[in-house]
Amino acid sequence: MELSNLDRLDPQILLGIVNEKLRLGSGNLADLAAEMELDSLALEQRLAEIGFHYHNDVNQFRRG
């Protein structure tokens, strides 16, 4: 799935994709961003728009 244009994807779908990839193989957000050639800051900002933030201790985006 193409994630390079983050602003075109529905943020809820993006959240599901990103959390699944984090759960299934990426060690952390930086690894995921490098693997998928994404700007991690842009990804964090996009998901913050719907109230989700990355939590390193559980390696996923959660509300709050």
| Average pLDDT of adjacent 10-residue blocks, the chain of 64 residues | 73 94 93 91 95 97 94
15: number of Cβ within 10 Å: 19
So what's the pLDDT on residue 36?
A: 87
Indicate the pTM of the whole model.
0.87
* Residue numbers of the domain that contains 25: 6-63
So what's the pLDDT on residue 5?
A: 73
Nearest to 43 by CA among 27, 60, 58, 57: 60
- Structural domain contains residue 1: no
Number of independent structural domains in the chain: 1
What are the phi and psi torsion angles at 63 (to 5°)? -65, 140
